[in-house]
């Protein structure tokens, strides 16, 4: 018995941006296409990497607490040095579209829907359990390749927040400063800023969390390198 012939839905006429474009657009994606065809959203994070659209849900409450607190205090320090701080903005790098957790720009956004990565003096990522490889290995390499002078990482492992700052030197990020909860993180460049990472979470780390995992020593922070995470991934691959 002959089967009915099905044809793909035709592409809709140009109009309002719609997530339907994810269904009918079958060519490689670019940052420009995503910004033109997909609607603005406060829901899933939509990025473009190597021609593919990457959609991720919002992270947990600790991640959101850091994204609420850190941009606020960073912005006050950055403005004194003539910089502007924005959480989760569209950053275009060639055909790729990144949405870093925090971006420090040399000039104000001016109402634009996206900025070029060359406008960023510092990009920051907050590491969650499901994004460790991306935030510790992939994004630093991509931001370094684009020439972003500084990279800031906030790690929430064991619910003991730690902050590490890296500076771009000869095409690679080199550690500059780090501190864990209970000590003061201090950076001098690209502007002066200090904070106890413990201030970034809404409550104190649970004692059970510290007992179940390796104890965190207040006042110290080991700067995790891409090599150390790659070794972890070899033992426990990320699918």
pLDDT tens by residue, 12-28: 555 677 767 777 777 88
Residue 171 neighbours by CB under 8 Å, 6+ apart: 144, 145
Highest mean pLDDT: which range of 54-58, 76-80, 133-137, 158-162: 76-80
Question: What's CA 189's distance to the chain center, in Å?
Answer: 20
On the CB side of 148, CA atoms within 13 Å amount to: 29
Question: What's CA 23's distance to the chain center, in Å?
Answer: 26
Higher pLDDT, 133 or 234: 133
With a cut of 60, say whether residue 110 has pLDDT above it.
yes
Contact 150, 187 (CB under 8 A): no
Residue 189 neighbours by CB under 8 Å, 6+ apart: 150, 167, 176
């Amino acid at each position: 018995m002959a089967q009915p012939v099905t044809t793909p839905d035709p592409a809709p006429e140009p109009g309002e941006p719609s997530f339907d474009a994810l269904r009918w657009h079958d060519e490689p994606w670019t940052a420009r296409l995503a910004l033109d065809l997909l609607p603005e959203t406060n829901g899933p994070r939509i990025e473009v990497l190597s021609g593919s659209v990457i959609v991720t849900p919002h992270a947990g409450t600790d991640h959101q607490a850091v994204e609420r607190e850190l941009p606020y205090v960073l912005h006050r320090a950055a403005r004194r040095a003539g910089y502007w701080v924005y959480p989760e903005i569209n950053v275009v790098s060639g055909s790729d579209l990144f949405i870093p957790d925090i971006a420090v720009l040399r000039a104000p956004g001016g109402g634009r829907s996206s900025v070029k990565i060359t406008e960023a003096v510092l990009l920051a990522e907050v590491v969650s359990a499901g994004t460790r490889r991306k935030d510790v290995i992939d994004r630093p390499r991509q931001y370094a390749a684009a020439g972003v002078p500084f990279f800031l990482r906030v790690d929430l492992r064991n619910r003991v927040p730690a902050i590490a700052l890296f500076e771009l030197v000869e095409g690679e990020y080199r550690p500059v400063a780090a501190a864990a909860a209970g000590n003061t993180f201090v950076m001098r460049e690209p502007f002066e800023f200090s904070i106890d990472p413990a201030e970034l979470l809404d409550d104190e780390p649970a004692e059970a969390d510290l007992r179940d995992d390796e104890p965190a020593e207040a006042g110290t922070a080991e700067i995790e390198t891409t090599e150390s995470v790659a070794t972890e991934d070899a033992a426990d691959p990320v699918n």
